[in-house]
Amino acid sequence: MMKFLEGRGETVSRVLLALAVYAAFAILQPGFGRVSNLNTILDGFAFAGLAALGIGITIIAGELDLSIGSMAAVAGVIAVQFAELGLILATLVAVVVGTIFGVLQGIVIVRLKINSLVFTIGTLIALRGLAFILSGEQTIVVPDLAIADAIRQQLGIFSPFSLVTIVMFVLVGSFMAYHRWGREIYAIGGGREEAQAAGISLYRPMAIAFGIAGGAAALAGALVSIKSGSASPNGFENLLLPAATAALIGGTSLTGGKGSAFRIAIGAVTIRFIVSGLSLRGAPFYVESLALGVLLILVIVFELGFETPQAKERLRRRRLARAPA
């Protein structure tokens, strides 16, 4: 458990931030803490959280996957097309496709020695085109809307969607903290040359990191599309920015090698608290964007302010200690 919550000071600061945001809106906005609203917040967390988890893992690896929105759109189309097989099989097909694509993407990036930003801009465009081809350039509808009822159920403040997301965070977080392959992702993100000198090949951690990103984006796209009853090739175009914001607010370092699934989850929840609270107060969408932008800037400035030489050296030692022997 201690490994899962590694970096306890930073974890506590993120939890306190989330609690402060929640408390502020709970006091200022009647109804914010109601079960129905918390259920809506967690459903929003499920969607944004999965995307944040995927992009956060690639950032920890020292890379960045810009294609998650397009991958979610492709997965949504695939899930709706296979909806007649049932919720589980349709979702599984979409997730397998997303994961395989992500793995291949990571391998190709290493093989070609190309910057992931450049490469995933290309796959972002290519996947969006694929979504249009698979959908016949139109929105497709789930043939039997009863399949969506399984996702829409309200289980107190939870739903099947949010519970699946929580399980996904626990699995990925445990893998990153406890498994040798997960520690390799931290190692290549914290010091690529040092990791390679220690005998760590880039292929496996990169394939796993991008595989997680592709699978998480596909899971989000599939479940949201089935829940809504339709999938559009234009869907999820605005997914990248809030996902990256959640990961960064959760303490994932843009320099790589630092972050955790738990803190990414806290970052995603914090964003949903802000969005829900402002929506209940009738604030226009641009106020939400402004608030999230200001919060992100404050978090980054806070982080940079505490990056003393001593802190950097402690982080470097921790990254090297993570590297598998």
Please choose, from the candidates 161, 157, 149, 268, the residue with its C-alpha nearest in 3D space to the C-alpha of residue 222: 161
pLDDT of residue 321: 57
pLDDT digits (tens, 9 = 90+) for 77-105: 999 999 999 999 999 999 999 999 999 99
Residue 163: CB partners within 8 Å, gap ≥ 6?
A: 155
Measured between its terminal Cα atoms, the distance across the chain in Å is 21
Closest by Cα among 68, 64, 184, 42 to 128: 68
DSSP letter assigned to residue 141: E
pLDDT at position 318 is 56
- Picking from 187, 213, 177, 146, the residue whose alpha carbon sits closest to that of residue 316 is 187
Instruction: Identify the top-confidence range among 25-39, 88-102, 140-154, 239-253.
Output: 88-102
pTM for the model stands at 0.89
Class of domain 8-322: mainly alpha
pLDDT of residue 194: 87
Query: Residue 169 in contact with residue 292, Cβ under 8 Å?
Result: no
Cα–Cα distance for residue pair 37/90, rounded to 1 Å: 29
Contact 227, 151 (CB under 8 A): yes
123-182 tens-digit pLDDT:
999 999 999 999 999 999 998 888 888 888 888 899 999 999 999 999 999 999 999 999
CA distance 109 to 132: 25
Query: Domain boundaries in the chain?
Result: 8-322
Instruction: Please check the confidence at residue 294 and state whether its pLDDT lies above 80.
Output: yes
